[in-house]
Amino acid sequence: MFEAVLSNGSTLKKIFEGIKDLCTDVNFDVSSEGIKLQAMDSSHVSLVSLELHTDVFEQFRCDRDSMTLGLNMKSVTQIFKICGNDDSVTMRAEDEGETLEFTFEKGEDRVSTFELKLMDIDSEHLGIPDTEYQCNVKLPCSEYQRICRDMAGFGDNMTIDCQKGGVTFSVDGEVGKGKIFLKHQPNVEEKHKVIVTVKEGVELDFALRYLNNFAKAAPLSDHVQLGLNSDTPLSVRFDIEDKATLGSLKFFLAPKIKE
């Protein structure tokens, strides 16, 4: 049997909101270590990787070595509309069960339950190596969200140019070109901090449609971390409640290849 209780149900709600427009069906891979999810978008240029460690849950039980729970994202987000922001969530599935039961509770006054039919989803797991990035950028989620939204008005692709001292986001579209520079700002108050760590400068182009999609996970944490290496996928990482010990939601995006 699998049973997990999360007092802060909105965390799960935010996770599903963050991935629902990228993936239609996903597998929840449950083990005694927690929950993992890996899924690609339909065009196979981006990858979502979720890790929820048991520390994020108040209670966690998985009797089997592993269980795979196939979820339709549209149905899950529909179910999570039932979940209030202060509700706790309990997920429960029998070993050979065909459903995942969600219970949303606020105290003992209001208890809602929904049994979701599980799906059989074929998915291949890719091996994501532990990568040391040439450039790491930590910036407020609100800033990331704003840059991607504003730049999407001018073009389809955005160049991220990371150099010592700061990072430049630029777009070159039909009406003209523009750029936004964020300076390495380690000594300001936490919510405005921008940390740019560079071993070697990297400049890459990415599709704004995907960068904007990843921004939907912004409510999960205060800061987002970008990892860049030349000619490898960009990593966009949201630590759950800004604590890597609880887990993370990571997105990977293949760079545009310049002609």
Partner 1 sequence: KPGQKKIESYFALP
- Judged by the rule CB under 8 A, the positions of this chain that interact with partner 1 are 40, 44-47, 124-129, 157, 205, 207, 232-233, 252-259
State in angstroms the smallest separation of the CB of 156 from partner 1.
9
Nearer to partner 1 among residue 223 and residue 250 (C-beta): 250
Q: How many CB atoms lie within 10 A of CB 109?
A: 6
Length of the chain measured in residues: 259
Rounded CA gap, 257 and 259, in Å?
A: 6
Nearer to partner 1 among residue 46 and residue 90 (C-beta): 46
State in angstroms the smallest separation of the CB of 250 from partner 1.
12
Nearer to partner 1 among residue 126 and residue 188 (C-beta): 126
State in angstroms the smallest separation of the CB of 168 from partner 1.
19
Q: How many CB atoms lie within 10 A of CB 41?
A: 19
Rounded CA gap, 103 and 115, in Å?
A: 9
Contact 157, 190 (CB under 8 A): no
Nearer to partner 1 among residue 205 and residue 239 (C-beta): 205
State in angstroms the smallest separation of the CB of 90 from partner 1.
32
Nearer to partner 1 among residue 9 and residue 255 (C-beta): 255
Give, for 237, the enclosing helix (H) or strand (E). strand 234-239
State in angstroms the smallest separation of the CB of 127 from partner 1.
4
Rounded CA gap, 72 and 99, in Å?
A: 12
Contact 240, 249 (CB under 8 A): yes
